[in-house]
Amino acid sequence: MGKIERLIRAYEDFVSLPWDQGLAGPQRVWFAVYDPEDERRLRVRITEFELATKRAGHGWLACDVTDAFPEWMSAQKYREEYFKEPESLGPALDDFMDWLAQRIEQSLSSVSESDVVALTGIAGLFGFLKVADLIRRVDSGIRGRLLVFFPGQYEDNNYRFLDARDGWNYLAVPITANSGD
């Protein structure tokens, strides 16, 4: 059985467990951790995670941020200047974070306490913002669970996004292909 199949099974086992409704927002975050090189293999199998969620009696809402940066950039008044001088984009990235957090918060607020919001496409955010900051920004609004499809590593209570940044410790529950082994 391949890594993605094992991750789907680990997720199915995990989503089927009873949910504690008394958890704080950061504890309602689940990271489905997979190798970055498996991004395309995972993305074509997202519906299997959705089906596992529904079989466990929970709702599912997909929130794909793959194209978030280009969408945001296309609406910017000074986008041409940013392309000419990319270093001038730095301060505007705070606005991007605000815009993206609001978009995710809308998804989180539209579901019940028994639903999963599945966040995909975070690899497209690399270089523009820190995923840890984004998750911290939205975690207080989680009603059910936020499932973040996380291309990277989880090791010794540390997450490493795309294996390129220093890891950070976060209260999220890791779900890996080795969960349950």
Q: Does 126 reside within a domain?
A: yes
* pLDDT for 146 beyond 80: yes
Q: Does 169 reside within a domain?
A: yes
pTM: 0.92
Give the mean pLDDT of 13-23.
95
Question: For the chain, what percent of residues have pLDDT higher than 90?
Answer: 69
Q: Does 181 reside within a domain?
A: no
Q: Does 44 reside within a domain?
A: yes
- Three-state SS string over the chain comes to CCHHHHHHHHHHHHHCCCCCCCCCHHHHEEEEEECHHHHHHHHCCHHHHHHHHHHCCCEEEEEECCCHHHHHHHCCCCHHHHHHCHHHHHHHHHHHHHHHHHHHHHHHHCCCCCEEEEEECHHHHCCCCCHHHHHHHHHHHCCCEEEEEEEEEEECCEEEECCCCCCECCCCEEECCCCCC
How much is the mean pLDDT over the chain? Answer: 90
Q: What's the confidence (pLDDT) of residue 1? A: 76
CA 169/CA 105 separation, integer angstroms? 22
Q: Does 15 reside within a domain?
A: yes
80-121 pLDDT, tens digit each = 887 888 888 888 899 999 999 999 999 999 999 999 999 999
* pLDDT for 144 beyond 70: yes
For residue 79, what pLDDT band results from cuts at 50, 70 and 90?
confident
Task: Specify the number of domains making up the chain.
Answer: 1
Q: What's the confidence (pLDDT) of residue 160? A: 75
Residues spanned by the domain of 138: 3-175
Give the mean pLDDT of 149-171.
75
Burial (CB < 10 A; 0-12, 13-18, 19+), residue 17, is exposed
Q: Does 63 reside within a domain?
A: yes
What's the token pair of residue 100?
């993206």
